[in-house]
Structures are given as structure tokens and as C-alpha cells.
Amino acid sequence: MSTMRRRSGRGTAAVLSVAVAAALLVLPDAAASQQAAGAGEVTFATDVAPIFYENCVSCHQENGMGPMSLITYDEVAPWAPVIKDRVESRFMPPWHVDRTVGIQQFKDDISLTDAEIETIARWVDAGAPLGDADQLPPPPDFPDRGEWQLEAEYGRPPDLIIYSDPYTVPASGLDKWWYPVVPVEGIDEPRAVMATESRPSIGSYAVTHHANSNVSKYAVGKPYDKMPANVGLLIEPGHEVTFNIHYFPNGEEVKDAQLEIGMWFYPEDDEPRIVVPWSRATASFSSLSDTDGPEAQTILIPPHGTQVTQGVTVLDKPGMIYSVRGHQHTHGAGQMIEAIYPDGRREVLNRVGWQFGWHITYTYEDDVAPLLPAGTVILVTAWYDNTERPGNPDPDQWVIYGRRSADDMSHMHIGYVEMEQEDFDWMVEQRRMKQQEQQVVQQGG
């Protein structure tokens, strides 16, 4: 409870209640970190390395996307002050969900707990000591790029792999875009996809900037997409996969770079209740009133100024949001998605910060993915900041709507399953029954 006492010292009543709630939420960890403190010095070997191995080194390793490796003490030590800054500001690990509002249960949440951040900060303040090297946990073992990340979870390699046509990336030159279209082969009947994972072929990892297709996304940090329980994506023989791959030359020619999309199917004898075509499994909700017509001018940010825009989308069929991902350019300062239900209730689903360069998909836990009746209004609010700050190319310019990085835009990419009414009612009922069961368990316990 040390967290609570220390924070309550500097707050108003409102801040205090937030701090209390936060302290209660992290109680088990707070208790653990207090134990560590009681035991003496916080060291890399015993306290910090386990946190880094769990939360940082998947990217911060020699072949990872992070700019430096954070595995050995010698690699980490020079970075200690910068690390403290980046974890306290929650810039690292890249997970920019506002923790004070909205849904907080996500699949594959890589963020740190308050207690972990406190441990790192105390370690840096104490001079970042190594401690007893014999106590270091074994460094994690990385699958080489030849292994699929979801393979361990599902206990088998993908059921189907789709390869983009090969492309040779030259040693130098400008960015290259590659848009091959590949028919689905290797299945002779429609199947329901439970998860997809994308990976660049061996050797092309360093030159693949981003890669999307109509059936998958390859984004930094999390190259896979998992569907919620009871929902599958329909894939059919002959279905066309259209790729959109952005390569950038990296000093060495890479021959025959390919993007590989692995797909895991639901078992044939256990097909999900809801099977949707890809085109009905995503949505894009704008925070502008209109991006095509004259209203597209709604972004107009003065030099050194700020702006807020809002856009609404009315759902004419019932559906479920299973993931959210923001999108803005260099002036983006964050977005919020709210649901206004047909009965008038208004709920903040999430507020996400925006860091240019990071496209993070936040996937809800199955039990909390918002179920939205027909008639629900989705309200997306976006904030822009054209003041002088890191990442803003030129605060002296007016900023308008547009596709160039110097312009700005704002929409949210949503993992969204549109449903028939009877399937929706069934999903609602499933969830109600599950909640009831959990209550019984809790009361009984």
C-alpha cells in the first residue's frame, strides 16, 4: 500500500480516489514490490532482468525492431536513465491505452504494472546496480524468424500459408510498394479462420516496413490477429488475397522477399457459430464528419494551435468490436471511441494515445469485447497538437486534412463483426450466462 500513501500526499480528493483505485487494482504487485524493497537493494539480477525479459526483449534484442538490445547488464546499464524516462511516461513498452477510463482487459497486454515501473525507477535511482550475477535469470531463448509465434499456443504450424509473389528489394533507392494479388490454393472447401499471423520471409525482415493484406495485418510488435470465441473468418478456395507491402532498401539487396500469411482454422467438427467474410470483419470509424466531401476540410489547425474533431457512425446492424487501433499523422495527440446505445446510455470504450510510427492493435478479451445493438452510435473524438513538440515537422504551418504526413487525418481501424440479430441475441445470452456463473463462483468463494 506504499503507493497509495505516497500518492495521496499530493492530491485533491478526485486525484486521491483515482490513486486509491489504482492502488487497489495493483495490490498483489504492490505487495510484491514492497517485499522486494524490504529485502534490500533493487538489482538488475533479481528484480529488473525478469521484467525486461518478459516485457522488452522480444523487441530489444539483436534482430528485433528495438534500437538496442536490453539483454545483458552491459547492454542495459548505459540506457538506465532513458529507460526510467520511457517507462514512467509509459512510452515503453508501446501500449498507449489511457488506463483511467474505458475497457482495460486486452489479449496480449504488454504494458507494465505500476509496481513494475516503480521497481525500475527505484533501481535506476539507486545507480542501476547489477547485484549478484549468479541470480540472473537465464536469458530468453528466441525462436528464429523461421518459427511462427502462434505455433506454441495452438500446438501446430498454420493450417494454410499464403505467400505473396516474390519481390527483389534493391540495396539502395527509395521506398518500394508492392501489391501482388494471390488466389487462395490448398483448400477445397470454405473454412473458418480462427487466427492469422504474418511474417516476412527469412532475410526480408529488415526491409519490410509494413505489410497489410485484405486478410491480415503485419504491424510492429504483434504480427498476428486472433478472432474472438465463436467467430471465424470465412476463407474460400479461389478467394483473392491482395497484398499491400511497403519495402525500404537497407544497404543490401534482398532477393525474393515474400510475406507469408499463416492461417489457423477452427476444427471442422467445431465450427464457430458466426462465420463472416473478411469484408465484414473490419470497419473504419472516422473522427471527422466527412472525409470525402467539402466537410473534409474539418481539419484546420492553426500554427502553434490545437484542435478537436468528432465523427459519428450509426450501426444499422448489431455487431461486436473486438479490437481498436488508432490512426493519425504527426499532429495526432490521441483518440477516443465511445458508444451511445439506443437506450441513451453513453460509454467510453477506450481512449488511446497516439505516437506517430506506432500502429498498435488493442484486442479485447472475449468477455469484454463490446456488443453493440443495431442503432448504436459510435462517436470518435480526435485531438491534434500543432505546438512545438518532438515529432511535429513544422509548427509554423497551418495543417489541413490529407494523406501526406505533413497533413493530418484521423480514423480508427476496428476489428468489427457485423451480425444477424439472432446471432447477436445468442452472443448476448452466452455472455449473460457466463457472467452469472462467475458471480456464483465468486459468491461461493
Binding site for ligand HEC (CB under 6 A): 52, 55-56, 58-60, 65-67, 79, 82-83, 86-87, 92-94, 110, 112, 220-221, 357
The one-letter code for the residue type at 271 is: E
Shorter beta-carbon distance to ligand HEC: residue 246 or 317: 246
Q: Which residues contact 347 (CB under 8 A, 6 or more apart)?
A: 338, 339, 340, 341, 370
Give exposure, 400-433, as e/b (b: 16+ Cβ within 10 Å): bbeeeeeebbbbbbbbbbbbeeebbeebeebeee
> Shortest approach of ligand HEC to residue 136 CB, angstroms?
17
Using the minimum distance from each CB to ligand HEC, give the nearer residue, 219 or 339: 219
Minimum distance from residue 70 beta carbon to ligand HEC (Å): 6
Residues facing residue 183 across a β-bridge: 240
Considering the complex, state which of residue 59 and residue 227 has its C-beta at the smaller distance from ligand HEC.
Answer: 59
> What angle is formed at CA 354 by the lines to CA 232 and CA 296, rounded to 5 degrees?
85
Q: How near is the Cβ of 120 to ligand HEC at its closest, in Å?
A: 7
At closest approach, how far in Å is the CB of 157 from ligand HEC? 24
Instruction: Determine the angle formed by the axes of helices 114-125 and 27-38, rounding to 10 degrees.
Output: 20
DSSP-derived 3-state class of residue 422: helix
> Based on CB atoms, which residue is closest to ligand HEC, 30 or 56?
56
- In the bound state with ligand HEC, the residue whose beta carbon lies nearer, of 67 and 251, is 67
CA distances from 233 to 185, 242, 403 (A): 16, 16, 30
Nearer CB in complex with ligand HEC: 90/317 = 90
Smallest gap from residue 425 Cβ to ligand HEC (A): 38
Length of the chain: 445
Q: How far is the CB of 141 from ligand HEC (least distance, A)?
A: 17
In the bound complex, what is the minimum distance in angstroms from residue 80's beta carbon to ligand HEC? 9
Residue 324, beta-bridge partner list: 362, 414
Annotate 257-311 with DSSP letters as a single string.
E-EEEEEEEPPGGG--SEEEEGGGSEEEEESSS-SSSGGGGG-EE-TT-EEEEEE
Would you say 274 and 230 are in contact if contact means Cβ atoms under 8 Å apart?
Answer: yes
